Amino acid sequence: MANVTVIGAQWGDEGKGKVVDWLASRADVVVRFQGGHNAGHTLVVGNQTYKLSLLPSGLVRGKLGIIGNGVVVDPDALLAEIARVRAQGLTVTPETLRLAENAILILPLHAAIDRAREAARGEKKIGTTGRGIGPAYEDKVARRAIRVCDLAEPETLSEKLDELLLHHNTLLAGLGAATFDKQVLLDQLLAWAPQILPYAEPVWERLDEARRTGKRILFEGAQAVMLDVDHGTYPYVTSSNTVAATAASGSGFAPSALGFVLGIAKAYCTRVGSGPFPSELHDATGRLLGERGFEFGTVTGRPRRCGWFDAALVRQAIKVGGIQGIVMTKIDVLDGLPELKICTGYTIDGVYTPRLPAAMRAQAAAVPVYETMPGWTGTTRGARSYAELPADAVKYVRRIEELIEAPVTILTTGPERDDTIMMRDPFEG
């Protein structure tokens, strides 16, 4: 059995929660490897709905969950999430959840900086969640971050806070925001220590042991390729790498053992926050997609922008993200539409291009080139095989496969866990 790595192939919110839950039920270990509590998965199990941001989805299925070193961790958010799912009946203990000792901590000052910067940008704001993820990653690469392991060393915490506050209080004062007191932050860190440290360990050792003993490992990505800090629609991106390769560096795992890379894409396209979105619809069809698909951010609750499927964008994500197969979600949302459009490329100042360019102004100027296909009158909802799908729905999926140059290996046809058509088992490699 192969390991599986799951990443988003659009701008996030593709419905990864249901897919990851289905895969997690068959895995032994589930690993989060990047991002913070700015993204989330919604899992529906029986009559319970779990909204997870930091906790790996496998915990819902009683599997070992690991938070890797590539994740930035807000201790308050982590502890609150643990308390919330415990109240729903889940068992979360140091035996079921492990946290990389070298993961970076998000402090209250990071969220303050995040919000103050967004306010200062005015109409040019990036659309961050204001939860401090970006500033925490900045401290990581600037080598001044506080890590989980530092909670065991009060002297280290005190020294690091001096450097942090010299930097951040200067910025906060310049932005007209309140500054932070060292002793208040130190007391908070020392209060977190006994609650967080029991979960901490060098998770790379545990993952290496799992690999050597043949355990099935599922790597669970957050956000999506087009929000990758290098390959996405910069600067309207997240602050981490979201491609499959990050599963190795964000967990301390062998790159050669990441297994089958599964990309998730909706049968249409959505985006939360600011930034270019060439196939966005501002009409009644866009509103209909949002209403039918219940398009609101899991973490922020913000309404998602909706548009036609962008094959050029997904093809690009497949190539740079290392995706081997696509899970197409929410095809049932398209039921009954008289016609469908697929973006196959763009024109920029009248010149055709098959890819979304890197430059910000060029991205904003991209005009979609569409291919029109007929809709279908029957329903895809609840279908468990291709034979149950309307013929035009099958044609739509097949045409997308041609355009993105990759197979649709799994198709989801409704909100229920078993509303799934699987053409290839990703755990079989």
Q: Alpha-carbon distance 156 to 167, whole Å?
A: 17
Active site residue 21: no
Q: Alpha-carbon distance 115 to 128, whole Å?
A: 8
Show the CA angle centred on residue 301, arms to residues 240 and 266, nearest 5°: 65
Q: Determine the distance from the C-alpha atom of residue 80 to the mean position of all C-alpha atoms in its chain, rounded to a whole number.
A: 20
- Name the H helices within 122-269: 133-141, 154-174, 182-196, 203-212, 246-249
- Which tokens go with 414? 């409704």
Q: Alpha-carbon distance 233 to 284, whole Å?
A: 26
Give bridge partners of residue 7 from the DSSP assignment.
263
Active site residue 282: no
Residue 347, classed as helix, strand or coil, is strand
Q: Alpha-carbon distance 4 to 331, whole Å?
A: 23
Of residues 37, 41, 168, 231, which has the active-site annotation?
Answer: 41
φ/ψ (deg, to 5) at 37:
-95, 30
Cβ atoms of residues 149 and 100 within 8 Å:
no
Q: Alpha-carbon distance 321 to 316, whole Å?
A: 8
What amino acid occupies position 340?
A: L
Of residues 13, 74, 150, 228, which has the active-site annotation?
Answer: 13
- Using alpha carbons, select from 324, 332, 339 the residue that is nearest to residue 413: 332
- Using alpha carbons, select from 209, 259, 290, 245 the residue that is nearest to residue 428: 259
Q: Alpha-carbon distance 378 to 390, whole Å?
A: 6
- Which tokens go with 173? 């004062």
Q: Alpha-carbon distance 8 to 237, whole Å?
A: 13
Cβ atoms of residues 26 and 427 within 8 Å:
yes
Active-site residue list: 13, 41
